[in-house]
Every structure is written in C-alpha cells, then in structure tokens.
C-alpha cells in the first residue's frame, strides 16, 4: 500500500499534490489545511480514503470538527496521525524521518506555501505487514 502524507497546506493545494493523491491508495493530511476546500479537493481527487486531523489553523467548520489525533490501521500497520509535532520532539515543517524504539516517525514537511527557507515537501509511505518505508518528496527545493 502506498499512502501520500501531507501537512501544512495552509489553503494551497498544489497540482503536484493532487497528482500524487490520485496515485496513492490513501491520503493522510496531518493538519493545517487552512480551508475546507483543501479537504474537499483531496476527497474529489481520489476514490481512496482521505484521513485528516486538524491543526492549529483549522478552527472553522467543518475543519474544527476533525479530530486532533487519529489512530489508523493500514495494511496491518498502526499509523498515528497528529499535527502537534512538538510532542514527538521534531522540528515543525521540516521534513524528517526517524525511528525510535521501533516506531517510525515521519514529518512530511509543508506542502503549501513556503515556510521560512525550508523546501516545499510531502512524503509517501509504503506499508505492508512486514515493512514500513517512507520517501520524502521535494516539490520545490
């Protein structure tokens, strides 16, 4: 299974992200969508499931009703989706992949407007019962 993971779109859904969403088996949005249209466009782009949690900028309906965290099972693998990356001791917005105590932790970066001097990025997760792999995708360096 291939899942597209994005975050921090802040109201900007890039065409490259929609293309990647169409190719994925599931889409995971880790919050800060910035507008309900982002979630609507993702759901319209793919028949596959779109899972989303709310970030600190997602305060208006229907985004305000999204959960803060979401625990999923995809291909027999538990995926815990949240926006508040500081709980995991990661730098917000910067793409990062690490493993700690048998848990793979992925920050896909910001897929919307450029944040600071960081790349515009998202990630793909490859999930199977025996393996979890992630690939960072830089949309704009």
Sketch the domain layout of the chain as residue ranges: 2-140
Please identify, in words, the CATH class of the domain defined by 2-140.
alpha beta
Per-residue pLDDT, 25:
96
Average pLDDT, integer, range 111-134: 90
Average pLDDT, integer, range 130-141: 90
Per-residue pLDDT, 90:
45
Strands 120-128, 2-6: pairing is: antiparallel
**46-82 pLDDT per residue, tens:** 989 999 999 999 998 999 999 999 999 999 988 989 9
**Region of residue 137 (phi > 0: left; psi between -120 and 50: alpha; otherwise: beta):** beta
Per-residue pLDDT, 14:
96
Helix, strand, coil shares, percent, the chain, to 5: 20, 40, 45
Average pLDDT, integer, range 121-139: 91
Residue 49: other Cβ atoms inside 10 A? 14
Please tell me which residue, 11 or 99, carries the higher pLDDT value: 11
Question: 92 pLDDT band (50/70/90 cuts)?
Answer: low
Which two structure tokens, joined as six digits, stand for 131?
């393996």
| pLDDT at 91 > cutoff 80 | no
Rg (C-alpha) for the chain, rounded Å, is: 14
Q: Give the list of residues 6+ apart from residue 59 with CB closer than 8 angstroms, or none.
A: none
What is the reported pTM? 0.87
Which two structure tokens, joined as six digits, stand for 35?
């507008």
3-state secondary structure of 127: strand
Per the listing, tokens 């995708």 go with: 137
Question: 85 pLDDT band (50/70/90 cuts)?
Answer: low
Asked if omega into 36 is within 30° of 0 (cis), the reply is no
57 closest CA partner among 36, 79, 41: 36
């Amino acid at each position: 299974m291939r899942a597209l993971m994005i975050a921090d779109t802040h109201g900007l859904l890039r065409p490259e992200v929609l293309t990647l969403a169409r190719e994925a088996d599931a889409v995971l949005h880790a919050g800060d969508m910035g507008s309900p249209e982002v979630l609507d466009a993702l759901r319209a782009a793919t028949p596959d499931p779109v899972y989303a949690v709310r970030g600190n900028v997602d305060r208006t309906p229907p985004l305000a009703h999204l959960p803060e965290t979401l625990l999923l099972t995809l291909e027999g693998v538990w995926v815990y989706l949240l926006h508040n990356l500081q709980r995991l001791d990661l730098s917000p917005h910067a793409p990062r992949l690490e493993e700690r105590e048998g848990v793979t932790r992925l920050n896909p970066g910001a897929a919307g407007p450029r944040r600071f001097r960081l790349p515009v990025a998202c990630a793909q997760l490859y999930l199977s019962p025996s393996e979890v792999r992630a690939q960072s995708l830089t949309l704009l360096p």
